């Protein structure tokens, strides 16, 4: 099986890390769209369609239940766009000191923390090892929230729904 890259780099980068299949098994969801996929998609991500680098998912209209594991080297625009979409999941660094994750958290209906640090994998399914930072899954919309609750039941971790209080002010670029 040929290794695919989200971006057209000569070798592995910080963006060449894929969500392990057990996440999708636990969620029990089929996504309408994977918005930040490598060319050809990822075989274990249950999505009807995908946008890859040639499609530029940021420039496309998103529809239905979306899956977003954005490039960790530049997640801000992906987080901003996800925050405006009403139905989906995003996997990001749990670092609220960054504008992108803050915008995503502000829009989320639920949050899930995995038990321990997430171990990403490469395209062939080999473990890349645990990352050195915490990650978080955020949900928008009822289907996505139910998926996070299923993930907690099946795989552990911690899922919490978030109260939707009015937000005073606006998250802005730094």
Rounded CA-CA distance 76/83 in Å is: 11
Q: What are phi and psi of 76, to 5 degrees?
A: -55, -50
Spelled out in words, what is the top-level CATH class assigned to the domain 21-161? alpha beta
Beta bridge partners of 139: 89, 110
Sites in the chain below the pLDDT cut of 70: 1-16, 129-131, 164-174
Domain layout of the chain by residue ranges: 21-161
pLDDT of residue 169: 53
């Amino acid at each position: 099986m040929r290794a695919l890259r989200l971006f057209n780099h000569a070798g592995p980068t910080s963006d060449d890390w894929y969500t392990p299949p057990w996440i999708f098994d636990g969620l029990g969801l089929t996504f309408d769209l994977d918005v930040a996929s490598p060319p050809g998609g990822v075989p274990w991500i249950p999505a009807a369609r995908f946008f890859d680098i040639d499609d530029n998912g940021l420039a496309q209209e998103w529809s239905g239940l979306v899956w977003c594991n954005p490039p960790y080297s530049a997640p801000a625009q992906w987080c901003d766009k996800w925050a405006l979409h009403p139905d989906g999941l995003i996997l990001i660094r749990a670092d609220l000191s960054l504008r992108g994750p803050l915008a995503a958290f502000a829009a989320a209906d639920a949050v899930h923390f995995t038990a321990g640090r997430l171990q990403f994998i490469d395209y062939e399914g080999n473990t890349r090892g645990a990352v050195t930072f915490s990650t978080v899954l955020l949900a928008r919309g009822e289907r996505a929230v139910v998926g996070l609750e299923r993930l907690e039941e099946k795989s552990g971790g911690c899922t919490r729904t978030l109260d939707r209080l009015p937000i005073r002010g606006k998250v802005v670029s730094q």
